Amino acid sequence: MAIEDLTAVVPVPADPIHPGTPAEWERVQRILGLALPADYYGFAAAYGDGRFCGSFFRFFNWASPAYPERVTTECRCVEAAGTGYGRSVLVHPRVPGLLPWGNDENGTSLCWLTGGDPGTWPVVLQSREGDSYRVYRLDMTTFLARVFRNELRCPCWHEPFTADELVFTPG
């Protein structure tokens, strides 16, 4: 789990909003019908609700009361974007399927490809148009830490991230 790598790059808020509890974690997993990656639990405990890099990245905090609705809405967007190009895109609750955990201002969906051990789910980026997918065989927090350190360049984000952008804003 690389939550420590991520928190070393982007400091955590002093008072996170909806950091979650073990009971809420179990409830969300029951609602979804699947276990979630452990680093996702640590992510919410450290950061809570909010956005990275101004408002560029929005993350779906499993501990937020709005989480089920956000994930359902984003699943529809992911599926619609893919079918717009004549592709059949499998999304949650299908397994394997894409389960969104965030998006960006450009409309890129940040997902996992579910199936098997949640600790091994790769990160999948889907473009807004649904015509482009990128798979990264990393857990969510390792992926984010590497992206924010500019060690991993994703084609959907053209410019490197600067130190002054690497801020988490609760809310």
CA 104/CA 3 separation, integer angstroms: 20
Q: What are the C-alpha distances in Å from 129 to residues 43, 84, 108, 132, 133?
A: 28, 8, 9, 7, 10
Tell me if 112 sits within 8 A of 121, measured CB to CB.
Answer: yes
Q: Where are the domains of the chain?
A: 3-170
- pLDDT for the residue 78: 87
The amino acid that residue 134 corresponds to is R
- pLDDT for the residue 131: 62
Whether 100 has a pLDDT exceeding 70, the answer reads yes
- pLDDT for the residue 18: 96
CA 64/CA 82 separation, integer angstroms: 27
3-170 is classed in which CATH architecture?
A: 3-Layer(aba) Sandwich (3.40)
Q: What is the largest CA-CA distance in the chain?
A: 46
